């Protein structure tokens, strides 16, 4: 019979404190719902401010909870895991959300769709991402993934609420609809995969799967088939979420149609959530799924092929894009490919830790750089949707020298030039791949980076070397967006110049 603990017992035994960053953010968001409902006309000021404060509270809680950070602790008896991995990615998610919120106010005001729900949904989505990186059980992975995704579907369609029949409203509606249908589709794969893994191992708990999996494989029964198919379906389901080839088809349309701050947010937090779940499931739970001898996980070849395809397709298709948001969409597919390289490297026994650390540093660098690039794109976008093409930034260096400088640094970092954060991320990922014996994959990564320089540098060339058609771009952005760009720029440069900083931050991360 169930023995009911007292509340005090529950709080202490279940280590509730380690869930504080996520739960505080959720509680704050729910309060913000009420504030937004009853604040009256002042809500235009209070809700964005409240959202920033909530992120700050969660950030501080995160610093306190994960200050020791060395020892891995589970909360709530294994459903929730609070280790350095969780703490680090929580910080990345919170900073990304803060930057997106800073960008959003300006964008929403300009588009005339400033509503409090925007911030509430953004915060809920980020809370979902935070629970997802802390998930230690396939059921929590699923529920947190839905909490991450469902607000993003709404946010992608956010422009359609101003029903003026304009092209932007329609595109936004299409974006939300496509994202929703593909998201629901991928969730079905994820759940089916989790069900098969559960069927084979008898548990959904990730560390317990780790314990059970070798026995399942050794028993040489049909359960192995369920385990393999389940793993494949989990990769498919999460592959849709992180947009890797061949599950990337939705990305350009969704990224182009969604409001720019939402695109920036979903290109970072959705990928973080998906990759965190992939790392936890594949590296922690299923690294023991060895079908051939030699200490290489059974899924490594699959992940390597996916990574190679993603790198090649993402980078080559990005070349032909004229629209900046579409170009960044394909570039984000390519960057998912680089993180996939790290994931593949984690399949070799012994290099799981270095590969995971590489993936985390890459995610950090990608977060700062990508959000910064989207913020710059947002400042030159017109309300009617014009100004987002690569020709529209021609001569930006003359009209807005500082903005052009920032964009240049973001492009350099996306390419992976030294002294930017992108270089540190790429270096660690490729080093991990070589260490894991995936030299070919590392070579593909380096070569496609060279290809990527072509389209990133075209942006720089357009800004600096080509004459503008005459009209100078007016300053459209507010101080909030400038702050967002400044923070992104600072992150990109600090983690690029003081390169041991990032690797020191993740040095205690170990999930294998």
Partner 1 sequence: MELNAISIGFVVFTIFTLGGGIGVVTTRNLFQGTIWLMVSLFGVAGYFVLLSAPFLAAVQILVYIGAIAILITFAVMLTRSVTRIKTRYIRLVPSLLASLALFLILLLGVTMPIFGGVSPEHAPATVASTRDLGAALVDENGYVVPFLLASVLLTGAMIGAIFIARDDTA
Partner 2 sequence: MTILEFGPVSALLVISVALALIIANISRVMGPQRPTYRKSVPYESGMKPIGPATRRLPIKFYLVAVLFIIFDIEVIFFLPWAVSMRDLGVYGLTVMAVFTLILIVGFIYEWKKGGLEWE
- The site map against partner 2 for 11-30 (x = CB under 8 A) is ---------------x---x
C-beta of residue 369 within 8 angstroms of C-beta of residue 426: no
Contacts with 333 (C-beta within 8 Å, 6 or more apart), sequence order: 243, 244, 245, 248, 251, 310, 313, 314
Shortest Å, Cβ 31 to partner 2: 8
Q: How far is the CB of 285 from partner 1 (least distance, A)?
A: 17
Asked if 6 interacts with partner 1 (CB under 8 A), we say no
Which residue of 12, 13, 37, 49 would you call a contact of partner 2, by CB under 8 A?
37
Beta-carbon contacts of residue 424 (< 8 Å; ≥ 6 apart): 361, 365, 495, 496, 499, 502, 503
Site string for partner 1, 21-40 (x = CB under 8 A): -----x---x--x-------
Residue 34, binding choice from partner 2, partner 1, none, Cβ under 5 to 8 Å by partner class: partner 2
Interface with partner 1 includes 342 (CB under 8 A)?
A: no
Cα dist. 307→34, 170, 270 in Å? Answer: 44, 33, 18
User: How many residues of this chain interact with partner 2, rule: CB under 8 A?
Assistant: 13
Task: Measure Cα distances from 274 to 223, 237, 240, 266, 461 in Å.
Answer: 26, 9, 9, 11, 34
Closest approach, Cβ 195 to partner 2, in A, equals 19
Residue 497: how many other CB atoms lie within 10 Å: 13
Neighbours of 442 (CB within 10 A): 21
Q: Tell me whether strands 73-75 and 80-82 are parallel, antiparallel or unpaired.
A: antiparallel
- Please list, in sequence order, all residues whose beta carbon lies within 8 angstroms of the beta carbon of residue 67, skipping any fewer than 6 positions away: none
Task: For partner 1, give the closer residue by CB, 77 or 498.
Answer: 77
Question: Can residue 79 be called a binding residue for partner 1 (CB under 8 A)?
Answer: yes
184 binds partner 2 (CB under 8 A): no
> Which residue pairs from 383-389 have beta carbons closer than 8 angstroms and sit at least 24 positions apart in sequence?
383/110, 383/111, 384/166, 384/168, 385/166, 385/167, 385/168, 385/171, 388/323, 388/324, 388/325, 389/322, 389/323, 389/324
Give me the least distance between CB of 10 and partner 1, in Å please. Answer: 6
Question: What sign does the CA torsion over 149, 153, 159, 162 have?
Answer: negative
Stretch that binds partner 1, among 2-10, 243-251, 315-323, 395-403 (CB under 8 A): 2-10
Tell me the chain's radius of gyration from C-alpha atoms.
22
Terminus-to-terminus CA distance in the chain, angstroms? 35
Binding status of residue 5 toward partner 2 by CB under 8 A: yes
When CB distances are held under 5 to 8 angstroms depending on the partner's kind, the choice from partner 2, partner 1, none that residue 220 binds is partner 1
Among 17, 19, 25, 33, binds partner 2 (CB under 8 A): 33
Per CB under 8 A, 151 contacts partner 1: yes
Q: According to the binding rule CB under 8 A, does residue 4 interact with partner 2? A: yes
Nearer to partner 2, 7 or 67 (CB): 7
Stretch that binds partner 1, among 97-105, 146-154, 232-240, 372-380 (CB under 8 A): 146-154
- Nearest CB to partner 2, comparing residues 5 and 295: 5
Torsion, Cα 64 133 95 244, to 10 degrees, reads 160
Tell me, rounded to whole angstroms, the distance of Cα 419 from its chain centroid.
23
Which listed residue (69, 95, 133, 144) binds partner 1 by CB under 8 A?
144
**25 and 51 in contact (C-beta within 8 Å)?**
no
Under the criterion CB under 8 A, does residue 228 sit at the interface with partner 1? yes
Angstrom distances, CA of residue 32 to CA of 39, 47, 48, 68, 485: 10, 7, 10, 31, 26
Closer CB to partner 1, 91 or 124, in the complex: 124
152 vs 365, beta carbon nearer partner 1: 152
**Rounded Cα gap, residues 324 and 373, in angstroms:** 10
Which of 162, 398, 458, 466 lies at the binding interface for partner 1 (CB under 8 A)? 162
Among 153, 250, 275, 338, binds partner 1 (CB under 8 A): 153
Of 32, 129, 150, 365, the residue at the interface with partner 1 (CB under 8 A) is 150
479 binds partner 2 (CB under 8 A): no
Q: What residue ranges bind partner 2 (CB under 8 A)?
A: 1-2, 4-7, 10, 26, 30, 33-34, 37-38
Q: What residue ranges bind partner 1 (CB under 8 A)?
A: 2, 5, 10, 13-14, 19, 26, 30, 33, 76-80, 115, 117, 120-121, 124, 127-128, 131, 137, 139-140, 142-144, 146-147, 150-151, 153-154, 157, 160-163, 176, 217, 219-225, 228-229
């Amino acid at each position: 019979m169930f023995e009911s603990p007292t509340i005090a017992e529950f709080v202490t035994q279940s280590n509730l404190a380690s869930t504080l960053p996520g739960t505080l953010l959720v509680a704050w968001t729910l309060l913000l719902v009420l504030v937004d409902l009853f604040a009256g006309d002042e809500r235009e000021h209070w809700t964005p401010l409240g959202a920033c404060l909530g992120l700050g509270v969660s950030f501080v809680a995160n610093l306190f909870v994960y200050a020791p950070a060395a020892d891995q602790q589970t909360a709530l008896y294994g459903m929730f895991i609070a280790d350095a991995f969780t703490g680090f990615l929580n910080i990345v998610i919170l900073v990304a959300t803060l930057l997106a919120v800073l960008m959003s106010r300006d964008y929403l005001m300009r588009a005339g769709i400033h509503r409090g729900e925007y911030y509430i949904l953004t915060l809920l989505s980020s809370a979902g991402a935070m629970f997802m990186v802390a998930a230690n059980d396939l059921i929590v992975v699923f529920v947190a993934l839905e909490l991450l995704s469902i607000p993003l579907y709404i946010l992608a369609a956010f422009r359609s609420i101003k029903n003026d029949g304009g092209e932007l409203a329609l595109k936004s509606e299409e974006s939300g609809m496509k994202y929703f249908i593909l998201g629901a589709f991928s969730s079905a794969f994820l759940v089916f995969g989790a069900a098969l893994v559960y069927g084979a191992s008898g548990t959904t708990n990730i560390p317990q799967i780790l314990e059970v999996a070798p026995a399942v494989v050794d028993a040489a029964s049909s359960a192995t088939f369920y385990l393999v198919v389940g793993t494949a379906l989990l990769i498919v389901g999460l592959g849709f979420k992180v947009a890797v080839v061949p599950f990337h088809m939705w990305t350009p349309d969704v990224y182009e149609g969604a409001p720019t701050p939402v695109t920036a947010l979903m290109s970072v937090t959705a990928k973080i959530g998906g990759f965190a779940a992939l790392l936890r499931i594949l590296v922690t739970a299923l690294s023991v799924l060895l079908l051939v001898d030699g200490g290489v996980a059974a899924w490594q070849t699959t992940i390597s092929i996916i990574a190679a395809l993603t790198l090649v397709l993402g980078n080559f298709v990005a070349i032909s894009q004229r629209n900046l948001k579409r170009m960044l969409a394909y570039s984000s597919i390519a960057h998912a490919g680089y993180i996939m390289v790290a994931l593949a490297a984690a399949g070799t026994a012994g290099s799981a830790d270095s590969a995971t650390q590489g993936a985390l540093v890459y995610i950090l660098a990608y977060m700062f750089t990508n959000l910064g690039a989207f913020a710059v794109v947002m400042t030159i976008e017109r309300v009617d949707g014009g100004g987002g093409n690569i020709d529209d930034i021609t001569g930006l260096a003359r009209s807005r020298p500082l903005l052009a400088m920032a964009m240049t640094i973001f492009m350099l970092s996306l390419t992976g030039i030294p002294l930017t954060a992108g270089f540190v991320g790429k270096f660690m990922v490729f080093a991990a791949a070589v260490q894991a014996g995936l030299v070919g994959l590392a070579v593909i990564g380096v070569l496609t980076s060279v290809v990527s320089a072509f389209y990133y540098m075209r942006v720089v060339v357009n800004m600096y070397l080509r004459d503008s058609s005459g009209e100078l771009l007016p300053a459209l952005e507010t101080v909030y967006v400038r702050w967002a760009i400044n923070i992104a720029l600072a992150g990109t440069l600090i983690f690029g110049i003081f390169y041991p900083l990032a690797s020191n931050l993740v040095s205690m991360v170990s999930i294998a």
